[in-house]
Structure 1
């Protein structure tokens, strides 16, 4: 049964430290379990700068037992400004004590179908014995059309049930070639946290969280089967919601 919480913060600036505490607390929980490691899936966009800034501000951050993957990635060289891994490497990963082989990246030199297969193989090797990789925490964003990862409205990939990672050649948002985790992987996570800010997101957030006409948008199809679902919003993004939300006090653990 999925446990959903909608958490609203006065501003994106006040949300940032809470997001870092969420990552830190889930990491400590995972590393103290029998698994002895913390698996984190990252998304791009505005999340890169917020997460990098706030995690680096934490005192005594220890990421030596972390495994980091990417919820989706654009098929571009790592030095390209569109590369999510490239951005995180420059802003965060090169500045913390995470082992280099614990960061799971695509091989951007491969054709997109082979790239997806190669990344799926890396996940399988990293999560041995799990038919579907179970991440401790996935951090997701949402586009103004309700897409998340590289899963777009009305796209056939929304119905994918067998692949853990899928190629996409026709992304409506450039660049067109990408690889993405599929919904079975997203919904297997122990915790999924959406981060969404700004007034431009308010209409689609209302649709996703409260329902609306037509088929569910991709973000609304994220319902972890055994885990937590958190929505971290700022006040402008939450302005149109009529459902009950929580407003955590400063310093609260999520």
Structure 2
């Protein structure tokens, strides 16, 4: 069951998102030494975090940043999710490049996915599905989340943690993505979005309960937040 938080505007969404991240981070650091957070490549999310994270009080050295999905492109490409976060966050908050667990952009998608599984496994207990402290998710205009698109075979993946995708309907076509077994094992999943342009898809997922990828985010033993402004929530009533 999703907790839907409707805020008055984008600034209020950023404030609420930051509060939830701060609590999750500090709880994780207090109990497990590090805070493992997954980031998505949604443009608005990057801006929300660039504005909101500097207000957070936390031990930044304990944060580890992963990617819910990533485009298999050079880091200096405008399509690189890591590249966008690196330029947007480093310097605004006291973190280093070494705190990001990144893909190897020189590999093809299949090899990059396998390599990312190995890199992830260092940070989680062995022989169990990774349990992220928090995943920050985006939603596309078709209802996709991460790089899990409507009607795609990866929606039904049940065992692999990370999968390659080479036929993404949204460019660039070559990507890696977390799968639902990992997404739904997270302690906290968060969607944060603003604007009336999101309202139809928000309604289709939260009110109409359509079987779209973003609607399949249902943490098994965790919390799901949708933080939306009045524009994005306008069709929910």
SS in structure 1 of the partner of residue 189 of structure 2: strand
Q: For 1:91 and 1:145, locate their aligned partners in 2 and report how far apart those are by CA, in whole Å.
A: 26
Written as runs of structure 1 = structure 2, the 5 A alignment for 1:169-248 is 169-211=166-208, 216-242=211-237
Aligned to 2:104: 107
| Corresponding residue number in structure 2 for 1:249 | none
- TM-score under structure 1 length normalisation: 0.89
Once residues 223 and 212 of structure 1 are traced to their aligned partners in structure 2, the CA distance between those partners, rounded to angstroms, is 12
Give, in angstroms, the shift of residue 100 of structure 1: 3.8
Unaligned ranges ≥5, structure 1 = 243-254
Match of 2:22 among 2, 21, 24: 24
Deviations 1:62-100 (A, max 9, x none): 311111101000111111111111111111134433354
| Map 1:59-98 → 2, pairs under 5 A | 60-98=57-95
- Shift of residue 131, structure 1, vs aligned partner: 2.0
Question: In 1, are the aligned partners of 2:66 and 2:100 still within 8 Å (CA)?
Answer: yes
Q: What is the RMSD of the two structures over their aligned residues, measured on CA atoms? A: 1.4
SS at match of 2:181: helix
Moved over 6 A (4+): none
Q: Select 2:11's aligned residue among 5, 13, 21.
A: 13
1:158 to 155, 159, 174: 155
Residue by residue, what CA displacement relative to the aligned partner does 1:77-131 show, whole Å, maximum 9, x if unpaired? Answer: 1111111111111111344333543311001100110001101111112113252
Kindly tell me the number of residue pairs found equivalent between the two proteins: 236
- For normalisation by structure 2, the TM-score amounts to 0.95
